[in-house]
């Protein structure tokens, strides 16, 4: 009986799609184009080394039925045609724009793919060296990338078809607000933060001729003979370096775009105190002549003793995760809820451990759940003391209770929420797993496993761009 109802549902979906196409409409919701696969709940999987001759592959599966083939079993599998990147590691998921951008660590490719046509569009940015961190704005006008190998911050201004390689030794993390109006860069083992800004015509002339003509807080201006963009150090009104950062690692931006919450990684990144520095974004706007106001001489700071290396914003609550140094020298994972209405941090809540200072994954999902995962969770306090040490945590935001998902299956490198379907997909230990958001139980993943190493996952048909594990 259950199988019969599934068949009826599948046929109904196909009939509906056919009626829409026959009436001249080829969309299925929110004005989105009906894709060639006719699947309405696609989960994209970045697969490394799927065969001896191929180093990268983008496969997608039906997230409704949790199968790699179509329901009638006439098509054995689905993939993004034309993709050839090597060792894909991150998927920047933009379902509202019906695109995704995939970074390949094996060849430095940054490939845009069409969710509507299910094919590779082409390069989103020409990169000559590997990027430790890279993002594209939602309007596809900006790309920012950090290269540790060449010590450069590269900014692509696609509206004017120009790129700027700005020298910044040690740069390893970048952040960008969704609209691409504010970008920030962070240096490893440093208490400094930086931001790029396009120059006005008068500044181009004024700053020409090399460093002697630059403002005191300018780190680099390119090209130096007639610069179009400069990289500035966040500082006070006199251009002195800010003293309110402690190993800054990431910026989270408020929903209205007016505030930037700078995460100070603190002890887990070699510093002394973890926390959040709150700054207005107006002084950092990248477009020339659009900046306003000044950087505050004494910004709001929020102490987060549990650690602050990643965060996710939901309304007035900032969910902050990090690793707290223990007396034995190891680190323990924590989640801290920060109330932005009164700038106060709650008591740290114990979660799965992760490697100190490394990027973790977190996403909000159905049933009031927040899912958190990381890499090298066997290096933390839990494993050393014989406690549970899986890499995945489910946190109920309503009851504020933690469920540690076991068993340990390797590094958790990707996570996606299938909103409305009450489940999440994860990439862990190089394979794909599925969990229920209702109670955290594992769902049969037999028909979505991949050949090769699954490294990231994304819900191509998410309701909003907020369904993103990295951005």
Residues 6+ apart with CB under 8 A from 105: 86, 87, 88, 89, 130
Per-residue model confidence as pLDDT tens digits over 392-450? 999 999 999 999 998 889 999 999 999 999 999 999 999 999 999 999 999 999 999 99
pLDDT at site 27: 67
Dump the DSSP string for 377-391.
Answer: GGGSHHHHTTS---S
Predicted local distance difference test score (pLDDT) of residue 274: 97
Neighbours of 57 (CB within 10 A): 21
Q: Higher pLDDT residue, 127 or 392? A: 392
Q: What pLDDT, on the 0 to 100 scale, is given for residue 4?
A: 40
Tell me if 194 sits within 8 A of 231, measured CB to CB: yes
The kind and range of the H/E element at 22 are: helix 2-22
Neighbouring C-beta atoms of residue 19, cutoff 10 Å: 10
How many angstroms separate the Cα of 160 from the Cα of each of 112, 203, 319, 394, 434?
19, 18, 37, 44, 43
List pLDDT tens digits, range 145-181.
Answer: 999 999 999 999 998 899 999 999 999 999 999 889 9
Task: Specify the fold of 35-459.
Answer: Methylamine Dehydrogenase; Chain H (2.130.10)
Is it the case that residue 9 has pLDDT exceeding 50? no
Q: Compute the residue count for the chain.
A: 471
As a whole number, the mean pLDDT across the chain is 92
Domain limits, the chain? 1-34, 35-459
Q: Is the separation of the CB atoms in 55 and 87 below 8 Å? A: yes
Indicate the pLDDT class of residue 183, thresholds 50, 70 and 90: very high
Structure confidence at residue 25 as a pLDDT band (50, 70, 90):
low
Asked whether the predicted pLDDT for residue 20 surpasses 80, the reply is no
Segment 293-315, tens digit of pLDDT: 999 989 999 999 999 999 999 99
CA atoms within 13 A on the CB side of 119: 6
Q: What is the dihedral of CA 105, 393, 267, 313, to 10 degrees?
A: 80
Rounded CA gap, 114 and 98, in Å?
6
| Omega before residue 352 within 30° of 0, cis | no
For 80-126, what is each residue's pLDDT tens digit? 999 999 999 999 999 999 999 999 999 999 999 999 999 999 999 98
| Tokens 């026959």, located at residue | 22
pLDDT at 471 over 80: no
Any residues with CB less than 8 A from the CB of 176 and at least 6 apart, and which?
135, 137, 142, 144, 182, 183, 184
Q: What is the pLDDT of residue 378?
A: 93
Quick: pLDDT tens for 207-247. 998 999 999 999 999 999 899 999 999 998 777 889 999 99
Element (H, E) at 221: strand 218-222
Rounded to two decimals, the pTM is: 0.92
Q: Quote the CA–CA distance of 395 and 397 in Å, as a whole number.
A: 6
Give the pLDDT score at 209. 85
Distances from the Cα of 201 to the Cα of 182, 208, 228, 288, 396, angstroms: 20, 11, 9, 9, 52
- Split at pLDDT 50, 70, 90, the class of 22 is very low
């Amino acid at each position: 009986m259950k199988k019969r109802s599934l068949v009826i549902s599948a046929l109904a979906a196909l009939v509906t799609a056919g009626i829409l196409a026959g009436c001249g409409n080829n969309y299925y919701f929110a004005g989105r184009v009906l894709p060639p696969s006719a699947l309405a709940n696609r989960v994209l999987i970045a697969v490394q080394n799927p065969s001896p001759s191929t180093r990268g592959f983008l496969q997608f599966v039906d997230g409704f039925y949790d199968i790699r083939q179509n329901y009638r079993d006439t098509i054995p599998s689905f993939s993004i045609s034309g993709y050839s990147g090597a060792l894909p590691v991150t998927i920047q998921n933009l379902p509202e724009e019906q695109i995704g951008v995939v970074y390949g660590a094996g060849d430095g490719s940054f490939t845009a793919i069409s969710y509507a046509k299910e094919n590779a569009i082409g390069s989103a940015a020409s990169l000559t060296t590997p990027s430790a961190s890279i993002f594209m704005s939602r309007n596809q006008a900006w790309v920012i990338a950090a290269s540790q190998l060449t010590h450069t911050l590269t900014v692509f201004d696609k509206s004017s078809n120009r790129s700027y390689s700005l020298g910044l030794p040690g740069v390893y993390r970048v952040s960008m607000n969704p609209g691409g109006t504010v970008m920030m860069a962070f240096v490893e083992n440093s208490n400094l933060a930086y931001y790029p800004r396009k120059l006005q015509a008068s500044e181009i002339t004024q700053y020409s001729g090399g460093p002697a003509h630059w403002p005191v807080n300018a780190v680099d201006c390119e090209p130096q003979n007639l610069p179009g963009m400069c990289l500035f150090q966040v500082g006070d009104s006199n251009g002195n370096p800010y003293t309110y950062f402690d190993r800054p690692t990431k910026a989270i931006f408020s929903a209205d775009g007016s505030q930037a919450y700078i995460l100070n990684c603190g002890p887990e990144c070699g510093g002394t105190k973890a926390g959040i520095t709150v700054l207005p974004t107006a002084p950092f706007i990248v477009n020339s002549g659009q900046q306003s106001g000044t950087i505050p001489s004494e910004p709001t700071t929020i102490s987060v003793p549990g650690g602050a290396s990643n965060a996710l914003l939901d309304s007035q609550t900032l969910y902050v995760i990090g690793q707290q140094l223990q007396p034995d020298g190891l680190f323990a994972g924590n989640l801290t809820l920060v109330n932005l209405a009164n700038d106060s941090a709650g008591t740290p809540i114990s979660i799965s451990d992760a490697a100190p200072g490394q990027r973790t994954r977190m996403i909000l999902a159905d049933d009031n759940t927040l899912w958190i995962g990381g890499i090298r969770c066997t290096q933390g306090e839990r494993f050393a003391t014989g406690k549970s040490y899986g890499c995945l945590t489910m946190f109920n935001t309503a009851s504020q209770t933690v469920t540690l998902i076991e068993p340990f299956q390797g590094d958790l490198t990707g996570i996606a929420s299938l909103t409305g379907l009450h489940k999440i997909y994860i990439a862990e230990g190089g394979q794909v797993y599925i969990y229920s958001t209702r109670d955290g139980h594992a769902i049969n993943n037999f028909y979505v496993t991949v050949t090769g190493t699954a490294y990231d996952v994304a819900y191509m048909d998410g309701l909003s761009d907020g369904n993103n594990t990295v951005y």
